[in-house]
Amino acid sequence: PSAALALLCGSAAAMVVWKWLGKRQIQKKMEEAQRTRDEGVKKMAKAVQQFREQVSNVQTDAILSLPLLELTGRLREGSLSPKTVLYTYVEKALEVTQQTNCLRHFIPECEEQLQEIQQQREKGLLYGIPVSIKDHISHKGHLSTCGLVQCLGTPVQEDSVLVKVLKSQGAIPFAMTNVPQSLFNYDCSNPIFGQTLNPFNHQKSPGGSSGGEGALIAGGGSILGIGSDIGGSIRLPSSFCGLCGLKPTAERLSVWCTCLLNIDVCSHPTPVPCALGPMARDVDSLALCMKALLCQEMFQLDPTVPPIPFDEEVYSSSAPLRVGYYDTDGYFPLPPCMRRAVRDTRGALQAAGHQLVPFSPPRIHYVMTELFLKTFFADGGHAWLDVFTGNIIDPSLKPQVNCCKIPRLGKKLLALILKPLLKNVPTISTCRSVKEMWNHHHQIEAYRTEFITQWRELQLDVVLCPVLGPAFTSGYPGKLLTAISSTMLYNVLNFPAGVVPVSTVTEADEEELKHYRGCCDDPWDRTLKQAVAGAVGLPVAVQCVALPWQEELCLRFMKEVETLSREK
């Protein structure tokens, strides 16, 4: 017995030591990643200082205030040099990330790209434009971390197709921006690089998962960024940070060599695909970016992208539109200011000569639980849980992680218990066989057909609808996954959808929020109320939608909304 006891104690001690060594190794990896980032920041700060010593009369504010279209014109005609513009934006990005922690890493090779574009025979559409990219968009020689420890090993060996095309068009990728851990959150925090803050209010989140992009562009540290969207990850940061953002039809832009995580939705065949898209301060910037990307080089580098160039005629059209509209999807009622934004925009569009038609998206509760959540948690969330090496989990993700850890039977019992208390209990269904998975894919296709049929019966060109906002207090997005029904719908449908800021939260909105009851004043409704409180002065946006492959029409509608809101 004494020998057995000694063996047992020795095994337990060995297990404790083994776990401690594993955690220590993880900690060292995280510290090394943080140190690399800090060294990169110091290097770029030194480069800016050296540039300042050489060129002392740079009109920083004037350059930063130029819209993208005007900036490209000045660069192409030679009245501004790409070097001056690059270092002006790097300097501003250093300032913004110091305040908001929006950068994951600078790209020092931007100085090499600066030399290369000056040797290009033809100046591309984005000649000399500094561009920021989301952490998981591959850039040669850099990590694509997704905020995960397991991705801190080997740098990427090749630029993604999108980065290659940006460079061929003369753009200079100069920074990679922070993301939430595993990308599956619309806050922006991870255990390696920390929490990103909203530049307008540091108590608020910039949104996610393209939250670093949102904070950097809104803070003035980048003029054009590339994000990704599979549930609202371009549109939510755009809403929270007062930007314009476009989620195209998923296959319109290449996602090759983007975030090759073993569970990543960008690299797996899924019925709800990931889309890459632009984020900027105005709609014309989004249009120029799409025009630059939809070129012969992208079609050659990625043969899966349909060779459809940007249709300038559709974007420039001024013909009246037939616009469907709704201010609630009936699943998760949004705060009063977001519904007001839709009503005000509807009135402005009607006054401008467009035809407005009431529209009601069908069966959103079914879409949210049976189509969207089932796509990502078909296995009960096991593959997703596997990516959290060493059980290192960001606090903002713990509500979702804890939910996934509950056994299947426990989830069913919990759903039954909570149903009387919560109207929209997100029961996470699983696919227990290949047949069930195929049936799930068929259900998504059938819903798309149903939605398009309803759209065509009303003879709609586009749809105006709400987007989640205003910016949540940090930490709240992880508690309200189901609040993203307004954006998630158009990922399931794979429709192009964009966000345009049209207003700001007023004192009257804040007062009306006090009387907000949501669906039935349940705990989730009260949590949403807490999440958006204290937002006076923060941006308020609307969402614009078109049918698949009609990005130009979606952008044209967004431009119309932007013009009318600015006039007002």
Known binding-site positions: 183, 209, 230-233
Q: Which residues lie below 8 Å from residue 391, measured CB to CB, with a gap of 6+? A: none
Q: What is the DSSP letter of 372?
A: I
Question: Which residue out of 134, 164, 204, 411 is catalytically annotated?
Answer: 134
For 463, phi then psi, to 5°, come to: -130, 135
391: left (phi over 0), alpha (psi -120 to 50) or beta: left
Query: Helices (DSSP H) in 458-534: which residue ranges?
Result: 485-492, 507-513, 523-532
Residue with tokens 């993700």: 397
Q: Which of 233, 396, 429, 565 is catalytic?
A: 233
Answer for the pair 357, 326: CB distance below 8 angstroms, yes or no: no
In angstroms, the first-to-last Cα distance of the chain is: 85
Tokens 């033809």 sit at which residue?
122
Number of Cβ within 10 Å of residue 260's Cβ equals: 16
> Which residue ranges are tagged as binding site for substrate?
183, 209, 230-233
Q: Which amino acid is at 535?
A: A
Give me the residue label for tokens 């801190």: 152
What region does 410 belong to: left with phi over 0, alpha with psi -120 to 50, or beta? alpha
How far apart CA 503 and CA 500 sit, in angstroms, is 9
Burial label, 262 (beta-carbon count in 10 A; 0-12, 13-18, 19+)? exposed
Where do the H-state alpha helices sit in 352-397? Answer: 364-366, 374-376, 382-385
Question: 399 near 478, Cβ under 8 Å?
Answer: yes
Please name the amino acid found at residue 541: A
Q: Are 467 and 487 in contact (CB under 8 A)?
A: yes
* Long-range Cβ contact pairs of 352-358 (< 8 A, separation 24 or more): 352/560, 352/564, 353/320, 354/320, 354/321, 354/322, 354/323, 354/560, 355/320, 355/321, 355/322, 355/323, 356/323, 356/325, 356/464, 357/322, 357/323, 357/324, 357/325, 357/458, 357/460, 358/324, 358/325, 358/326
Query: 520, 245 in Cβ contact below 8 A?
Result: no
Q: What is the DSSP letter of 126?
A: T
Relative to beta strand 322-325, strand 462-466 is parallel
Query: Which segments of 137-192 are extended strands (E)?
Result: 172-177, 189-190
Question: Of the residues 168, 205, 209, 485, which is catalytic?
Answer: 209
Structure tokens at 176: 């990679």
Tokens of 385: 């849980």
Q: What share of the chain is helix, strand, coil (3-state, %, to 5)?
A: 50, 10, 40
Among this protein's residues, is 233 annotated catalytic? yes
Residues annotated as catalytic (active site), given as ranges: 134, 209, 233
